[in-house]
């Protein structure tokens, strides 16, 4: 009859050698397993930069990526998850943005792994609404000086006089106008158009302006000064002025001034009907683009003797 060895005896006999063999086998298995390639889904940190001054109104979805690699390398990835950085364009004016993700955008650190896919790879993100508002352009610290012997025949103008401001309700709530940057130029002859940037620094973060450059226009022509003597002071019927005529100095484009006569301007005095006699300020009417000044700013106007 074959005697079966006692199991307890088998275990304890030469136990240091057997324990060492077990440990070595376990280590060998771990080493071999760590070198085998496998795949794993890993959480991805998605960072999205919105246009300045705008916020997302929807939460970012959970993003995962499938990687292939050894268990050791995948373990590194789990400790330090990969990231994807996305930047929305500053010109975005809509309330939604379609986003695509790809494995080429995955950023990993210190792990020898291969990305095989991103899930989900497309998504739609929603932002706070924006709107457009027309705001007037104001000239700020604009100095345009004509050359000697020249003067402006028209007012200095800005084109366009209104620009479009784009932003959220909160951003546009307190914006009433926009100013130009300072401009200082001299020696102007003829018509000029000068591009001047708008000052957007006071609008707040995230507000966009279209256009951001306007045209400041001026027209300087050669001017001449001429004295007209004996211009009659016009008063209502039944009134008279002392003096009855005054001298007038006119200044304007040379081509027009040379042909001026005393009939080219009108000097008026409008009395107060409640009095019979009073000094009245003169009103000088001249054609557009011509300035005219009387030698005296007022005359004595009195009611004529009805007898």
SS3 string of the chain? CCCCCCHHHHHHCCHHHHHHHHHHHHHHHHHHHHHCEEEEEEEEEEEEECCCCCCECCCCCCEEEEEEEEHHHHHHHHHCCCEEEEECCCCCCCCEEEEECCHHHCECCCCCCEEEEEECCEEEEEECCCEEEEEEEECCCEEEEECCCEEECCCCEEECCEEEEEECHHHHCCCCCEEECCEEEEEECEEEEEEEEECCCCCCCCCEEECCEEEEEEEEEEEEEEEEEEEEEECCCCEEEECCEEEEEEEEEHHHHCCCCHHHCEEECCCCCCCCEEEEECEEECCCCCEEEECCCEEEEEECCCC
Backbone angles phi, psi at 29, to 5 degrees: -65, -40
Please, what are the domains in the chain? 39-126 (2.170.120.30), 131-222 (2.170.120.40), 224-303 (2.170.120.30)
Kindly report, residue by residue over 208-232, the tens digit of the pLDDT. Answer: 899 999 999 998 888 888 999 999 9
Q: Is the pLDDT of residue 32 over 70?
A: no
| pLDDT score of 33 | 54
| Rounded-to-integer distance, Cα 301 and Cα 267, Å | 13
Q: What is the pLDDT of residues 171-187, one digit of tens each?
A: 888 889 999 999 899 99
pLDDT bucket at 22, cuts 50 / 70 / 90: low
- The stretch 147-156 carries a mean pLDDT of 81
Bridge partner list, 163: 135
pLDDT value at 60 more than 80: yes
Mean pLDDT to the nearest integer, 235-256: 91
């Amino acid at each position: 009859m074959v005697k079966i060895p006692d199991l307890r005896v088998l275990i304890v006999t030469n136990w240091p050698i057997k324990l060492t063999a077990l440990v070595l086998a376990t280590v060998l298995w771990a080493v071999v397993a760590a070198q085998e390639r496998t795949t794993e889904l890993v959480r991805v940190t998605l960072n999205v930069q919105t246009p300045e001054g705008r916020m997302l109104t929807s939460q970012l979805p959970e993003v995962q990526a499938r990687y292939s690699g050894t268990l050791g390398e995948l373990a590194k990835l789990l400790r330090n998850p990969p990231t994807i950085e996305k930047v929305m364009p500053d010109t975005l004016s809509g309330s939604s943005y379609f986003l695509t993700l790809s494995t080429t955008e995955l950023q990993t650190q210190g792990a020898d792994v291969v990305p095989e896919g991103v899930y989900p790879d497309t998504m739609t993100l929603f932002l706070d609404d924006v709107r457009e508002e027309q705001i007037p352009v104001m000239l700020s610290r604009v100095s345009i000086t004509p050359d000697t012997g020249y003067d402006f025949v028209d007012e200095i103008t800005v084109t366009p006089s209104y620009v479009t401001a784009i932003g959220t309700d909160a951003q546009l709530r307190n914006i009433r106008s926009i100013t130009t940057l300072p401009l200082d130029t001299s020696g102007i002859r003829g018509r000029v158009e000068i591009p001047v940037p708008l000052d957007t620094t006071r609008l707040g973060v995230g507000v966009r302006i279209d256009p951001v450059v306007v045209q400041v226009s001026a027209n300087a022509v050669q001017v001449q000064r001429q004295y007209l003597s004996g211009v009659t002071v016009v008063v209502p019927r039944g009134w008279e002025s002392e003096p009855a005529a005054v001298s007038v100095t006119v200044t304007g484009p040379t081509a027009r001034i040379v042909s001026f006569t005393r009939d080219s301007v009108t000097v008026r005095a409008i009395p107060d009907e409640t009095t019979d006699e009073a000094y009245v300020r003169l009103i000088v009417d001249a054609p557009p683009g011509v300035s005219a000044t009387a030698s005296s700013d007022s005359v004595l106007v009195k009611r004529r003797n009805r007898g």
